[in-house]
Chains A and B, each alone.
Chain A
Amino acid sequence: MVFSSLIFICRFLPLFLVCYFAAPARHRNLVLFLFSLLFYAWGEPIWLCLMLFSSFLDYGNGRILEFAKKRGRTRLAGAVVTESILVNLSLLGIFKYSGFFPLPIGISFYTFQTMSYTIDVYRGEVPAQKSLSAFGAYISMFPQLIAGPVVKYKDIAEELECRVWNPADGYQGIGRFCVGLGKKVLLANQIGFLWEEVCRIPSGGMSVMSAWIGSIAFALQLYFDFSGYSDMAVGMAQMMGFHLKENFHYPYCSRSITEFWRRWHISLGQWFREYVYIPLGGNRRGLLVQIRNILIVWALTGIWHGRGWNFLVWGIYFGVLLILEKCFLLRCLSQLPAVFGHLYVITAVAAGMTVFALDSLREGIDWISMLFGNGVPFWNSQSLWMVSDYGLLLLAGIAGAAGLGKKLADYPVVWGLSFFLSVAWLVDASYNPFLYFRF
C-alpha cells in the first residue's frame, strides 16, 4: 500500500486512527504493529514472512546481546552482532542485488533499522527491547516502512515505551501529512509526467532547453516525491506522538554538495556516518584515510539506492565531489558570491540525478553532453511547447523547492486544500474513459 492512494486515505488511515486511539495506551504498540503488518501485506503478502523473519531474528539477537553483556561474555556479544549484520546484509544481497526476485518493498529500510538496533544494543547505548510488540512496531511502523526515513532505534526508544498524545502533536501531524500528500500527488506526479514526456522525445528532436527541462523536472520530481513521503511519515508518526527527525531540509538551497547532503535524505546520511564512516576512523586519522572513508561511504550509499552500475557511479560521483570540496573547493566557494555556490550545486546535482534516472551510464553521459549543448540546437518548438504547457507548474515546483512557500504550509486552509485536491487527482488517475469507437 502507498500513502498516496484512495485505499490508504479512505480506508486504512481512518480505520487505523480509530483503533489506535480507542485502544488503551499499553496496547497501542500492538495496534500499530498489527496495522503495519496489514499495510505491508496488502500489496505483497508473501514478503511479509521476510520482514517478520528479520524482526523476530533481531528481537532475539537483542535479547541475547543483553544477556551476554550482563554476563560479560564479550565474544558471544561480538558473534551475535556480526551474525545480525551478516544476516541482514545477506537478505539485502539476495533480494535486492541478485536479481532473482522482484524487490520486496521497504527491505532497504527495515534491514538498516534492525541493524542500527543490534549495533546500538551491542554498544550499550540502549537497553534491548523486551516487548515483542514494541519492537515489531518499531521495525514495521507503517509511516516509515516503505520509504523512510531510516529511524535509528535509540531515537525513538523512549517514545516506544511511553508517549503522551497532545492536541498540538495531532494538529502539526495532520498538517505535515496533508502538505506531504500534496507534494507527492500534486507536484511530484505532475512534474513526473513532464519528465516522461522529455524521455519520449526521440534523440533527433532534443535540444539543450529540453534536456534542462527534463533534468530540472526529474530533480523536482525526486525531491517532492521523496520529501513528500517523508513529510507524510513524520506527520503520521507525530499524530501518534512519535517525533521523528527531519529527513529533508530544502536541499536545493545548498551552496555546496557537502551542504546538499546534510539536507537531503538526512537520516540515511546519518546512518552511514554513525555506523560506517565514524567506525572506519572518520576524519581523525589523516586526510588519506578520510578520503578512503568518504569513498567507501559513497560507494555504499550509491549501491544502497539500487542494483546497477549507474547507482555505484552516481554514489562515487558525489563522493569525489565531496572530497574535492574538502580539499579546496569549499574554501574557493566561500570566497565567491553565493550565486556561484547555488549554480554549482544545481549543475552538479542535475547532472548527478540524471545518471541516477537513466538506465545506463552511456545514456547518462549522452544526456549530460546534451545539457551542455553537444550537437543539439539550443531550443526548438517542442521545448517551447513544454514551457507553455508546464511553465507555471515548474515555477511552482522551483519556488516550493527553494522554500518560498514555507509560510504557506502553516495554514490549516492550505492543508485542507492540499488534501482535497490530492483526492481529486487520485480519483482522476483512476478515471478512464473507454473510447470504444477508437480502435
Chain B
Amino acid sequence: MKKGKKECLCCLLFVLTLYGLWAADFLCEDRLYSDWEKRMLAQRPDADWSSVLDGSYQAAYEEWLADQFPARDWWVGLKTRCELLLGRKKVNDIYIGKDGYLFSENTRTADWDRLEQELIEQYGAARVSRIKVPAAGSVLEEKLPPGISFSVQKDSVWKNLYDHRTEYIYFRTDHHWTMRGAWYAYEAWAGERGFTPVALEKMKYMVVREGFLGSHYARLHYAAEPDAMELYDPGSICSVLYDTEALELTGLYRPEVLESEDAYRFFLDGNHPIVQIETEQPEGHLVVLKDSYANCFVPYLTCHYRKITVIDPRFFRTDIMEWLRSGDSTEILILSQDTVRAEWK
C-alpha cells in the first residue's frame, strides 16, 4: 500500500509540473522586446484557415510559446552552468576563458576593406587612415581556453594593446574593448599620424558602472566576474548632434542608460547613423567611419579636431562617397573590427 502511495504522488507531481509550467506561462505577461537579446519577441499569432493549413500558424504559435516562456533568461543561465560543469569550453558560441574572460568570434562584418580602397583612390593615402580593432581573443592570449588562438593582424595597434595585455583593456563579459584599451589604440594611431596623444593620466578618471554585464553575458546568462565600466574623460567642451534631426543630447555620454541591459550605449548613445561633434579646438574636420568599437574611442579625438563627424555605414542611408564630396572633411578614419575566427594551435 505504501508503494502505491509513492507512485500516485509521483504521477501527481508530474501532472502538477506540466500544469505549473503552463500556469506560469499564462500568468506571465507577454513582452514586446527582449533587452538582453535586443530583438522583438514573437507575439500571439491569429489563426485562420489558410495559415493553419499550410502550417505557418503552428510555426508562429511555437515561436510565440518559446519567446514568451516564463523566466527564459534563468533557464538559459541554468543550461550554461550545467555545460560548464560538464567541462565545456565553448557554450552558445562563446569561448570560456580564464579569470572570468569570455571570448567570441566575429564572422560577419561589413566590407571595410573595399571602403578603404575606394577612399584612398578618391582622397589619397595621406588623408585616409585605418584602425583595425583586434578582438579580445587575439590580444589576451593567456586568457583563452587552452588549445585555441584567435587570428591576429600584427600591426602597431595590435602590438600596443598586446604590450599592455595585463591591464584592463577588454571587458570580460562584453566583446568590446574598454576605454583604456581604446586609448592604447589611440596612442599607436597618433604615433603613426605624427601627433602627441593626450596622456591617460591627464584625463578625468571615473568608474561609471560597477557590475556591467555585456553581450557575452547576454548569450550565456552567466558571468564569473562582472565588469567595471571606466571612463577616461578628456574633458573637452563640445556640442554633439545625434542624427540629422535635432536630437540634441547632452555631450558624449549618456549616464541614464548605465543601469540598463545595454550599458555600453553610455558612449555616444550607441550606434547612430551619424553623430556630429563640434569642439573648441582651432581646426580640422575628421570623419570617422566606424562600428561600435569607436564609441569609446571618439572622446579622445575631441582633443585634436574642431569638428568630428562619426558615421556608422551600416545604418547611414546616404551614399558615403557622395556625402564626403559635399563636405569639408580634412581627414578620414576607418575604425572597425575585421572578421575574427578562432584557430587551433
Are the CB atoms of B19 and A434 closer together than 8 Å? Answer: no
How many cross-chain pairs have Cβ atoms below 8 Å apart between A and B? 139
Counting contact residues on chain B (CB < 8 A from A), the size range is: 35 or more
Chain A residues with CB below 8 A from B11, complex form: 167, 170-171, 174
Closest-CB distance, B151 to chain A (whole angstroms): 15
Q: Does B69 contact A (CB under 8 A)?
A: yes
The docked-state distance in angstroms from the alpha carbon of A393 to that of B84 is 11
Q: Does B211 contact A (CB under 8 A)?
A: no
Are the CB atoms of B76 and A431 closer together than 8 Å? Answer: yes
The docked-state distance in angstroms from the alpha carbon of A380 to that of B147 is 10
Closest residue on chain A to residue B215 by CB atoms: A435
Point out the residue from B15, B65, B86, B215 that lies within 8 Å of A392, measured CB to CB: B86
Are the CB atoms of A439 and B108 closer together than 8 Å? Answer: yes
Q: Does A430 contact B (CB under 8 A)?
A: yes
Are the CB atoms of A433 and B344 closer together than 8 Å? Answer: no
Known contacts A167-B8, A381-B345, A392-B87; A430/B92 CB under 8 A: no
Q: Does B291 contact A (CB under 8 A)?
A: yes
Are the CB atoms of A388 and B89 closer together than 8 Å? Answer: yes
Q: Does B62 contact A (CB under 8 A)?
A: yes
Chain A residues with CB below 8 A from B39, complex form: 432-434
Q: Does A271 contact B (CB under 8 A)?
A: no
Chain A residues with CB below 8 A from B63, complex form: 430
Number of interface residues of A (CB under 8 A): 51
Q: Could you mark each residue 1-41 of chain B with 1 if its beta carbon is under 8 Å from any beta carbon of chain A, else 0?
A: 00110111011011101110110010000000000111100
Closest residue on chain A to residue B66 by CB atoms: A430
Closest residue on chain B to residue A174 by CB atoms: B14
Q: Could you mark each residue 87-113 of chain B with 1 if its beta carbon is under 8 Å from any beta carbon of chain A, else 0?
A: 111101000000000000010111000
Closest residue on chain B to residue A396 by CB atoms: B86
Question: B139-187: which have CB < 8 Å to A?
Answer: 145-148
Are the CB atoms of A10 and B22 closer together than 8 Å? Answer: yes
Closest-CB distance, A17 to chain B (whole angstroms): 6
Q: Does B78 contact A (CB under 8 A)?
A: yes
Are the CB atoms of B88 and A423 closer together than 8 Å? Answer: no
Are the CB atoms of B147 and A381 closer together than 8 Å? Answer: yes
Q: Does A347 contact B (CB under 8 A)?
A: no
Chain A residues with CB below 8 A from B247, complex form: none
Are the CB atoms of A14 and B22 closer together than 8 Å? Answer: yes
Q: Could you mark each residue 47-68 of chain B with 1 if its beta carbon is under 8 Å from any beta carbon of chain A, else 0?
A: 0000011110010011101110
Are the CB atoms of A427 and B75 closer together than 8 Å? Answer: yes
Are the CB atoms of B75 and A423 closer together than 8 Å? Answer: yes
Known contacts A9-B21, A427-B76, A433-B218; A174/B69 CB under 8 A: no
Q: Does B219 contact A (CB under 8 A)?
A: yes
Q: Does A42 contact B (CB under 8 A)?
A: yes
Q: Does A19 contact B (CB under 8 A)?
A: no
Q: Does A34 contact B (CB under 8 A)?
A: no
Q: Could you mark each residue 409-439 of chain A with 1 if its beta carbon is under 8 Å from any beta carbon of chain B, else 0?
A: 0001000100101011101101111111111
Q: Does B292 contact A (CB under 8 A)?
A: yes
A residues adjacent to B (C-beta < 8 A)? 5-7, 9-11, 13-14, 17-18, 42-46, 167-168, 170-171, 174, 380-382, 384-385, 388-393, 396, 412, 416, 419, 421, 423-425, 427-428, 430-439
List of 8 A-B pairs having minimum Cβ-Cβ separation, nearest first: A430-B66, A171-B7, A434-B39, A167-B7, A381-B344, A427-B75, A14-B18, A385-B147
